[in-house]
Structure 1
Amino acid sequence: MTRAAGCPFDPPPALRAQQEEGALAKVRLWDGTTPWIVTRYAEQRTLMADPRVSADITRPGYPSPAPLPRPAEDGSSKNRPGLSFILMDDPEHARQRRMVTGQFTVRKVETLRPAVQKIADDLIDEMLAGPKPVDLVEAFALPVPSLVICELLGVPYSDHDLFQNHSKTIIKRDATQEQRMAATGALVAYLNGLMDEKLAAPADDLLSGLAERVRAGELTREEAAQMGVLLLIAGHETTANMIALGTLALLEHPEQLALLRDTDDPKLVASAVEELLRYLNITHNGRRRVATEDIEIAGQVIRAGDGLIMANDIGNRDPGVFTDPDDLDLRRDARRHVAFGFGVHQCLGQPLARLELQVVYSTLYRRIPTLRLAAGLDEIPFKHNGSVYGVYSLPVTW
């Protein structure tokens, strides 16, 4: 669905119209299938928490956003590199997820705050010392989460071009099946190579922990590498887009930017992060599921095998939940948003994303108080062709 011209931060008008008509409707996908699209907040949360709703991408009826390769003849997932626990159901989903949950608890992530602060400050120092204008995506938004996730996983940051380029292909909506498979296969091979190093010389990082699970027979090499791919991509792509798109949204709302720039109140900073997550909701492919049993909801009957797409971006703009939902209001209590999903599959890395955004949003505009766009809004290249929304570049000056 196409966004309205001049309204790059708002969901497509067709989604708003559908939300006003009702909570559920049938839509047609690229392959001719007709899953349900769920546009209202309450029904989205209800369905994402329903055990009769599956996240298993291999189930018939799953509303895939792109063609899937044929399953391997032996039934394994080797023809689908990158398939990991977010596209599985319990108990296997829970078993694999538990292996990395400990690294993403709020308490564990909070210990990273000084390191994230130093990364942000060092990158800002480099920007201030260099020429103007600068592309904020390349100079700041992408390096911050990439450096953090590399440190956490034990991936050399010197390889960032490799994994960033492959990541872009994987989440690009108009990439061919062959391109996406080649990119995910290359990342799996890369992580497999790193796994050899971790097995030979373990370190205090997440990949070493996964390698130990392989040694103990709890994970196969393929599963460990695919889990590494998931964490590597999710750990930098989403946050990088939130940093850049959030900055652009704030520059277009100067009174809100002033609130954030001039505060030293961590509660207001935390509130701003939640509101920007609600307002922008950069994962705009929706949360995709398939019903395993008949479900009655909102006056409709979802049949077993029906696909479901939870359109989180319009769910976060539901006027029945958020007053004046199309306004950006950093003082709003937006903690109920569904930008990270809901239920057992809600985003594992959300504590890390929150911390990184709190550091960035409380630092960048304070240290560069005259930050401004170096191009017109109509000149900014938006990512309309990807499953993660954002901007390809953001020229700024000060």
Structure 2
Amino acid sequence: MDNPFLLTILSIILVGLIVIIIVINSSKRKKASILTQIEILTDELDRQKKENISLRNELRMITSLDNLFFSSIIRLTSRTEPAEIAREAVGLLLNYLNATQVAFFFLDEREKRLNIVAQMGLNENWLPKLVYEVGEGKVGMAAEKRIPLGKHESEMLRIKEPYPVFEPDMCYPLVYQNRLFGVIAFKRNEQLDEREKNMVGVVARITATALQNTLSLTIMRDLASIDPLTKLYNIGAFRDKLVEELNRSKRFQHPLSLAIIDLDNFKYFNDTYGHQLGDQILIKLARAFGIHLRETDIIGRYGGDEFIVMFPETKKNEATKIMKDLLDTIRLENFLNIQSEKKITFSAGVASYPEDGINPSEIIKNADEALYEAKNAGRNQVRMHLHKVEEI
């Protein structure tokens, strides 16, 4: 083909076809690349969606646990008795940490011992034996050092556990403003993470604060119910106790007796040697009553130089014998650091439920009548109300 023009046209057409083919192939590659990228993005979006669902479920679970945690904390801080606080703290840690064993120990400040008062997961037969001296085992060392102790700290301090039945993983001291109340200890299969450690620390601090509040409440109750001089119940608190015991006596058909005590010659000592000596006599007598009467007997200061004693589940003749023995003991004791012809003695009257009354006022009135007869008969004696009052 010799026509140059035709050759030029054919060349142009060929080049155009090549360009078109190249463009088409390039578009296909771009389209394939775009489709690949779309598939990758779709997979990534699916992965993120699944991850978001997982995170949302985890967040929902954490929120649920946090709600449970905070509701448990509210219950704990609302308790007004130390034993109730201990039980709440044990239950909270057992559930929240998935612990296998939790034990709560109170400090006996006088004996320097830690006694178990609440627990979950331990063998009941071993509970009376789980007593730690301060500094003994991980529980005692946490109390002595006043710092949380775990396995690592235990190994560093070379702590030996005295009881193979309870080898706690963590022990937290319960401290409020340098006052140690006790230790809470627990065992679980997994290590604590930082969030859990912080949570246990919060529980320990809140528990110590709740115990301090309980102590403050007890002090306030004492101020309202305890006579400041003798440390016995005041008459208001004693009457409340009398109502409680009388209701219990009625419910279980038990007897109940009551004695009113009046000190002989107290006015003489008070006027002759001063009120300070008179106060010392009252304090020493109150202490002697507490020592020589039974633990179940309830003693109060009736007012001035008078005392009142309640004898639950005790018949009148039994209570009268107890009072007579008490008078014999008081006669022999020397309450004065002075030389005096007069001795400290008392007169007393005894009445009981149901013989002499079915309510507090009747019983107190009849005991007072018996006391009046004892004083009129020469003092230094005990009489019981027998409708016609007789000397014992």
TM-score, length of structure 2 as denominator length: 0.22
Task: Give the structure with higher Rg (CA).
Answer: 2
More strand by share: 2
TM-score, length of structure 1 as denominator length: 0.22
More helix by share: 2
